[in-house]
Structure 1
């Protein structure tokens, strides 16, 4: 059995308030725990009307307090956006509040536009991806009590570190440091997994045992949506694909309803983009999803699968995770 986990962007649908979206994510975290999902991560995004997960530490604190056994963490915190000391204090506090349940997934890219990145930091300069190794070493040093200043209560309260990436760079860093690695396969387009497989191979090739891991440990994020039929699953998945299209066009908005997504006047190029996006996902009935997940796990050889499900409404997302858990458990994927 390959463990399943959840990646949540707290999608905000058309006509849905942030309060309702956050309540739906809280309910989903509780249900995921009941269904046996291993971990529940939230992603850092800024300035996107359709994404409510702009503050992972705040949301993690709430979700961890609303559950009791599932691991809760960031997928991830974008290190260039924040001072390492602040992250150490935040996640040290979370680990002290919920010992043994907090994951600190770290991303290398700012994950937002330069203007927003500047607003996130006190100064006018924005540290970029090139500063990542120095920032990461400083962050880890705070938890070990070796930082330039003391980070309380980070010292002695170290969460589980993960490195996240969508290219080979973070894969190499994770391997050299002996940390678990999560690849953002759900960012990919088309049907192939070439970039994913290449990054995972690079991680395994460069892996050095560490006090954290004796052997490589890999996880990928995969976009999955399950419904009672293939047709219904595609109908529910279309709004997420349209949202991604609008983001790429520079017009980010809330997640449209299935009816609005179906009625959208797609150009030929837009239709091709949306179809490519859907082709990269595992979308369908429980049988279809079971086989799609099995094939993805076999191709990549991952140790864990983290599922992100984008839909307009909270009930549809919750139902998808229920169907997926049952389908995978039945198949023994």
Structure 2
């Protein structure tokens, strides 16, 4: 069966403050480590009351220190917010401390609004526009040390210099990142949970056009999906109602903490609201293990995914842990 991984946003709820959400992420990672999942990624978001973690590298170090088996990584570092040298140094440090267990996922988006993005970058440089490709190239040059003679960075060394950068993955929700990942020969992760672009097309094209490189000899495509699993379809649907209302508010520009199922079910939805929720449910995989497996299997096969990465934004922390346990059982994962 296909390997399973986790993408964790450290989601806050109306009952869980940001500091508690961060500790819950560490607790969840320990739980996941014992179930047979292969990867645990943390995200980068800024100035959002719904997401607690703006610093995936900090979370990676904390999680790697209390787990034993899973790969721990960024899903991802929003590269436009950071000097490539800083990213190289931090992830080489993590690789030195936890050799063979670190992943470096990179995203093009700022992970926030325009004003916050400006505040993050205003002291770095004055470049305008999408400079992701330029930053990615610079990041790889810190690893290869192929800055030409006379370049101001030629004699600068990304420390620690006796360990490599961990594996690099490009994240995306469109065809741009799939094309780029194939061209440069890196791993690729597609965000089906919020993408409007067709996941199957992006992932199949990535595999077909992949060029072997010093970074990867063969393609590896991760399909990231939103899943809510419970013992019954009815209970899973109740738990997923929190995500329904949360998404409805996000579409209106409100990034609030995740509401409880009770609040979501009592909300006075209009017909237009219900239609919007029904459209968004096409991005979610909700139900008992058997129901979820039946929904996931066609997309896994059509996309030719090498790995399934699951995000489960569930109000109750214990219910979220149970959801991942049920999914592990359904996929036949073996405890390490």
2:61 is the alignment partner of 1:61: yes
Deviation at 1:154, TM superposition (A): 5.4
Q: 2:251 aligns with which of 212, 232, 248?
A: 248
Alignment correspondent of 1:180: 187
Find the counterpart in structure 1 of residue 114 from structure 2: 114
SS of 1:62's equivalent in the other structure is: helix
Name the stretch that deviates more: 84-93 or 212-221.
Answer: 212-221
Higher helix share: 1
Question: What is aligned with 2:220?
Answer: 217
Partner of 1:46: 46
Does the C-alpha gap of structure 1 residues 126 and 24 become closer, same or farther in structure 2, counting only changes over 3 Å? farther
Aligned equivalents of 1:156, 1:77: Cα separation in 2: 20
Deviation at 1:155, TM superposition (A): 5.6
> Following the alignment from structure 1 to structure 2, what is the Cα–Cα distance between the partners of residues 273 and 227?
24
- CA distance in 1: counterparts of 2:129 and 2:167, whole angstroms: 22
Between the aligned partners of 2:231 and 2:23, the Cα distance in structure 1 is 24
Please give the alpha-carbon distance, in whole angstroms, between the structure 2 residues aligned to 1:72 and 1:128.
32
Please state if 1:233 is matched with 2:240: no
Query: 1:258–1:126: structure 2 CA closer, same or farther, 3 Å change rule?
Result: farther
Q: Cα gap change, 1:124/1:84 in structure 2, threshold over 3 Å: closer, same or farther?
A: closer
1:275 paired residue number? 278
Q: May I ask how many residue pairs the two structures share in their alignment?
A: 326
Query: Which position in structure 2 is the counterpart of 1:293?
Result: 296
Aligned counterparts of 2:199 and 2:289: Cα–Cα separation in 1: 24
Closer, same or farther: CA 240–128 of 1 in aligned 2, 3 Å: farther
Residues 39 and 126 from structure 1, CA distance in 2 versus in 1: closer, same or farther, beyond 3 angstroms?
farther
Deviations 1:142-189 (A, max 9, x none): 123345232112563311110111111111111011111111111136
- Mark the runs of 5 or more structure 1 residues left unpaired by the alignment: none
1:124-273 matches, within 5 Å, as 130-146=130-146, 148=153, 149-153=156-160, 156-188=163-195, 195-273=198-276
Distance 1:119 1:324, change over 3 A: same
Change (3 A) 1:157 1:213: closer
Separation in structure 1 between the aligned mates of residue 212 and residue 301 of structure 2, nearest angstrom: 24
Partner Cα distance (1:141, 1:40) in 2: 27
CA deviation profile, 1:305-325 (whole Å, cap 9, x unmatched):
000001112111100000000
Give the TM-score normalised by structure 2. 0.92
Normalising to structure 1: TM-score of the pair?
Answer: 0.93
